[in-house]
């Protein structure tokens, strides 16, 4: 089959390779390969195994080529905010996951240099304790930025490993808290104030940029933030609100320009990049809670059976799914047990609340 294309979509719990093509004026798709993903705990730190991710990406490409030898191009999207530091072409290990608590101590230091109100006015990026702007400050204090020549967001890193070309993509960059909402480029003044090496912040590329080739397949930048790609794929007849659901759920609407007023800041809405528009949206806890509970309580039970059991049972417990207590507890079951008992919430809750009151 001619004119087939490969989309590689990687989330925090799984990844998938999907081949798409047009047939009689409609887009057809077929899932070729699916693999598990997840945060690894090592020496008390929460990390991504990017080497394993790259192996899975290559495995899926190989399987897709076997069934569809005429694939013209491929691209990769993932979650936002996380990245791989590089010293020339060498990775700076480890690769931290956004749920790691390393930013707790540095957030007040960042806000002391630039108050969050000013950050929001300039970038329109919502407060989250794991935003790249805070992760990089933790790296700076730990000396990980010394000699660093680049940082690539996860999909940029995987594409570089495939085709050998480094590029920074706009939609994913807007999750960092470092992109100026007006210019659509990295905010050099924020970078200077925080003391980050200017060399790390290159000109941003837009979706559709051709990077190179991997085994005869063109590698192209899509909207590499998964929510940006999801929203771009919604066949909207009008500008209706959308909900993109995954580990996180995102509720939002397309806007022609960012909204960085005080009301937006107070509501903690984010302005993130789209393909010719902005995404004005809010993070809502998604399948993270369910996935963690399933892994802890019944890892071998399929979700269809879990849903059936839930339909046949009852529970009158109400919890705030967005509460910091559920962000990265050691045990999700224990977090729910504490909420059910009305007792102390998991350690770290108060710390997250003190990070600015935006959670």
Please say if the pLDDT value at position 354 is more than 70: no
Which residues have a catalytic role annotated? 226
Please say if the pLDDT value at position 359 is more than 70: no
pLDDT on residue 339: 85
Q: How far apart are CA 148 and CA 86, in angstroms?
A: 6
What strand order describes the sheet that includes 150-153? 90-91, 83-87, 150-153
Q: List pLDDT tens digits, range 243-252.
A: 888 777 889 9
Choose among 322, 323, 325, 320: nearest CA to 347.
325
Q: How far apart are CA 2 and CA 4, in angstroms?
A: 6
pLDDT on residue 357: 37
Q: List pLDDT tens digits, range 10-62.
A: 998 899 999 999 999 899 999 999 999 999 999 999 999 999 999 999 999 99
> What is the band of 321 on the pLDDT scale with cuts at 50, 70, 90?
confident
pLDDT on residue 346: 43
Q: List pLDDT tens digits, range 100-117.
A: 999 999 999 999 999 999
What strand order describes the sheet that includes 248-255? 242-245, 248-255, 278-285, 270-273
CB atoms within 10 A of CB 290: 17
Q: List pLDDT tens digits, range 193-247.
A: 999 999 999 999 999 999 999 999 999 999 999 999 999 988 887 888 998 887 7
Asked, as a colleague might, if the bond just before 327 is cis with ω within 30 of 0, I would say no
Structural domains of the chain, with CATH: 4-227 (3.30.420.40), 288-353 (no CATH)
Q: List pLDDT tens digits, range 280-296.
A: 999 887 777 888 788 88
Which structure tokens are listed for 330? Answer: 């050691």
Choose among 150, 131, 148: nearest CA to 190.
131
pLDDT on residue 189: 98
Q: How far apart are CA 178 and CA 182, in angstroms?
A: 12
pLDDT on residue 65: 97
pLDDT on residue 187: 98
CB atoms within 10 A of CB 144: 19
pLDDT on residue 324: 80
DSSP 115-164: -HHHHHHHH-PPP-TT-HHHHHHHHHHHTTTTT--EEEEHHHHHHHHHHS
């Amino acid at each position: 089959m001619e004119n087939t294309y490969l989309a590689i979509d990687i989330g925090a719990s799984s990844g998938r390779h999907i081949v798409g093509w047009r047939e009689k004026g409609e887009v057809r798709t077929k899932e070729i390969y699916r693999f598990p993903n997840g945060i690894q705990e090592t020496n008390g730190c929460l990390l991504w195994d990017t080497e394993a991710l790259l192996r899975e990406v290559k495995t899926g490409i190989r399987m897709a080529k076997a069934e569809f030898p005429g694939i013209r191009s491929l691209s990769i999207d993932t979650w936002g905010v996380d990245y791989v530091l590089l010293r020339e072409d060498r990775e700076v290990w480890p690769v931290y996951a956004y749920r790691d608590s390393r930013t707790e101590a540095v957030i007040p230091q960042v806000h002391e240099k630039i108050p969050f109100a000013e950050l929001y006015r300039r970038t329109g990026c919502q407060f989250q304790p794991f935003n790249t702007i805070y992760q990089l400050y933790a790296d700076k204090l730990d000396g990980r930025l010394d000699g660093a020549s680049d940082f690539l967001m996860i999909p940029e890193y995987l594409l570089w490993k495939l085709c050998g070309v480094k590029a920074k993509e706009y939609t994913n960059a807007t999750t960092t808290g470092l992109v100026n909402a007006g210019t659509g480029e990295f905010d050099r003044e924020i970078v200077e104030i925080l003391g980050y090496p200017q060399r790390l912040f290159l000109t941003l590329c837009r979706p559709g940029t051709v990077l190179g080739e991997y085994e005869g397949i063109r590698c192209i930048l899509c909207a590499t933030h998964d929510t940006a790609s999801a929203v771009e794929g919604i066949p909207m007849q009008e500008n209706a609100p959308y909900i993109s659901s995954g580990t996180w759920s995102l509720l939002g609407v397309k806007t022609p320009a960012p909204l960085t007023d005080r009301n937006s800041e107070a509501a903690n809405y984010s302005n993130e990049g789209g393909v010719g528009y902005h995404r004005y949206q809010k993070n809502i806890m998604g399948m993270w809670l369910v996935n963690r509970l399933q892994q802890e309580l019944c890892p071998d039970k399929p979700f269809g059976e879990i849903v059936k059991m839930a339909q046949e049972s009852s529970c009158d417990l109400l919890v705030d799914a967005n509460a910091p207590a559920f962000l990265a507890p050691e045990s999700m079951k224990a977090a729910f047990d504490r909420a059910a008992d009305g007792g102390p919430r998991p350690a770290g809750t108060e710390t997250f609340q003190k990070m600015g009151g935006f959670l």
